[in-house]
């Protein structure tokens, strides 16, 4: 049996205006923090011998810390021979020396945030780079030999429209990256951008931008609501297919041995004393709900036979009227023993999924 591992590196140069992940801009505790992460990994291996076939360094911005600290963490993890090892990066936070170190440690996938090719939008989002600087960082990744790169973009931004998004999409297609994540801006109350008096596109305009993104990225496999790939993310597929994963570091989440838990979201407390918070035993009902919710995020959709065999539930019979209505509305398709959402259905997936548990 193998598992995925997520390592949270909370340090960043500057917190982006829309970010609600746990992060800190002071990296003076980085060595002490990595020592605590290493201790947590060793505690895990005291009771388990699982190998990781995917490892994901997220943040924060993992590329702001000394690369030797990343290597120190990886040296503690038992890996399979073909492990996918991803590190998140922001432009201007790495150089050639760092990248060569990452390759030496076995990192073979980079996920870098662009968000927009429009400098005015980047400034509004609180990014530390402009588009020209992003391009320079991207070119350095290619020059160093990375051939599995994800680029993040956002739509539904303040004052945006189809034309501003088209510029980003046109520039993005020139890069020919292996994976693209495209997210609608979500406003969280504890973020700086939430407090700004910006003008946002209407729901119809956001839908137009979403469909424009699908059209522009038609050469990619739209395998998950927000993700388009030539090479899918093996690590993120673990989340969407309810496979096990262990999270290490401050605020990290885990799903293992039929349990879910999270780590404390305070770096000093995490360093002083680690421990599981909000430990939840995953019930049969939980697993059924999660299977429906997560599978409908994927292009492959629901396997009706799997639901019958695993949960003893006839999903098709129980929700026949709703399914037929969604098919007639163009939100769903049924092929043999699978039901999945269309691209139009992806956009309203939350309401469709909720309706099955009303």
> Helix 96-105 to helix 131-144 angle, to the nearest 10 degrees?
50
Q: What is the pLDDT of residue 191?
A: 83
User: How high is the pLDDT of residue 200?
Assistant: 93
Per-residue confidence (pLDDT) for residue 193, from 0 to 100: 86
Query: pLDDT at position 274, please?
Result: 82
Q: Is residue 48 part of a domain?
A: yes
pLDDT, residue 19, reads 81
First and final C-alpha spacing in the chain: 36
Same domain, 89 and 206: yes
315 and 199 belong to one structural domain: no
- Within a domain: 288: no
Sequence-distant (6+) residues with CB within 8 A of 223 are: 229, 232, 298, 299, 300
The whole-number pLDDT of residue 149 equals 98
Same domain for 340 and 228: no
Could you tell me if residue 246 is left (phi over 0), alpha (psi between -120 and 50 degrees) or otherwise beta? beta
pLDDT means per 10 residues, the chain with 358 residues, are 96 84 88 97 92 97 97 98 97 97 98 97 93 98 98 96 97 97 90 86 96 97 98 97 96 96 94 88 96 97 97 95 96 96 96 92
Give the span between the Cα atoms of 294 and 233, in whole angstroms. 15
User: Is there a domain that residue 73 lies in?
Assistant: yes
In a domain, 53, yes or no: yes
Q: What is the pLDDT of residues 312-355, one digit of tens each?
A: 999 999 999 999 999 999 999 999 899 999 999 999 999 999 99
Same-domain check for residues 54 and 164: yes
pLDDT at 192: 80
Question: How do residues 276-285 score in pLDDT, each as one tens digit?
Answer: 889 999 999 9
CATH number for position 194: 3.20.20.70
User: Which pTM was predicted?
Assistant: 0.96
> Which pLDDT score is estimated for 195?
81
Domain stops at, among 198, 224, 240: 240
Write down the pLDDT at residue 21: 80
Total number of domains in the chain: 2
One domain for residues 187 and 325: no
- Are 219 and 308 in a shared domain? no
In a domain, 37, yes or no: yes
Q: Residue 277: its pLDDT value, please?
A: 87
Residue 89 within any structural domain of the chain: yes
Whether residue 104 sits in one domain with residue 10? yes
- 102 with 217, same domain? yes
Considering the domain architecture, whether residues 211 and 317 belong to the same structural domain is answered as no
Instruction: Let me know if residue 284 belongs to a domain.
Output: no
20 and 150 co-located in one domain: yes
Q: What pLDDT, on the 0 to 100 scale, is given for residue 14?
A: 83
Give me the domain span that covers residue 314.
300-358
Q: What is the pLDDT of residue 302?
A: 97
Tell whether 40 is covered by a domain. yes
């Amino acid at each position: 049996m193998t598992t995925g591992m997520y390592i949270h590196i909370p340090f960043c140069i500057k917190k982006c205006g829309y970010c609600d992940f746990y992060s800190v801009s002071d990296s003076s505790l980085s060595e002490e923090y990595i020592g605590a992460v290493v201790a947590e990994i060793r505690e895990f291996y005291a009771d388990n011998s699982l190998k990781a076939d995917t490892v994901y360094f997220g943040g924060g911005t993992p590329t702001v810390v000394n690369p030797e600290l990343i290597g120190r963490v990886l040296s503690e993890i038992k890996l399979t021979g073909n492990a996918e090892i991803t590190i998140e990066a922001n432009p201007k936070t790495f150089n050639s020396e760092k990248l060569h170190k990452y390759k030496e440690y076995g990192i073979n996938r980079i996920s870098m945030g662009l968000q927009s090719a429009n400098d005015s939008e980047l400034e509004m989002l609180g990014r530390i780079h402009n588009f020209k600087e992003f391009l320079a960082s991207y070119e350095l990744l290619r020059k160093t030999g990375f051939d599995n790169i994800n680029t993040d973009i956002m739509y539904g931004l303040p004052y945006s429209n189809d034309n501003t998004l088209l510029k980003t999409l046109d520039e993005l297609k020139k890069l020919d990256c292996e994976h693209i994540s495209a997210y609608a801006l979500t406003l969280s109350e504890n973020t700086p951008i939430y407090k700004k008096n910006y003008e946002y596109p209407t729901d119809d305009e956001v839908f137009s931008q979403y469909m424009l993104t699908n059209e522009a990225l038609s050469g990619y496999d739209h395998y998950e609501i927000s993700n388009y790939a030539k090479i899918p993310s093996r690590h993120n597929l673990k989340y969407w297919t309810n496979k096990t994963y262990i999270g290490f570091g401050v605020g990290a989440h885990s799903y293992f041995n039929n349990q879910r838990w999270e780590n404390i979201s305070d770096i000093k407390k995490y360093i002083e004393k680690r421990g599981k918070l909000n430990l939840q035993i995953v019930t049969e009902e939980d697993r059924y709900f999660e299977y429906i919710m997560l599978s409908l995020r994927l292009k492959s959709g629901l396997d009706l036979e799997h639901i019958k065999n695993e949960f003893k539930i006839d999903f098709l019979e129980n929700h026949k009227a709703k399914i037929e209505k969604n098919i007639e509305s163009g939100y769903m398709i049924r092929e043999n023993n699978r039901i999945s959402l269309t691209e139009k259905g992806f956009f309203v997936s939350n309401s469709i999924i909720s309706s099955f548990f009303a």
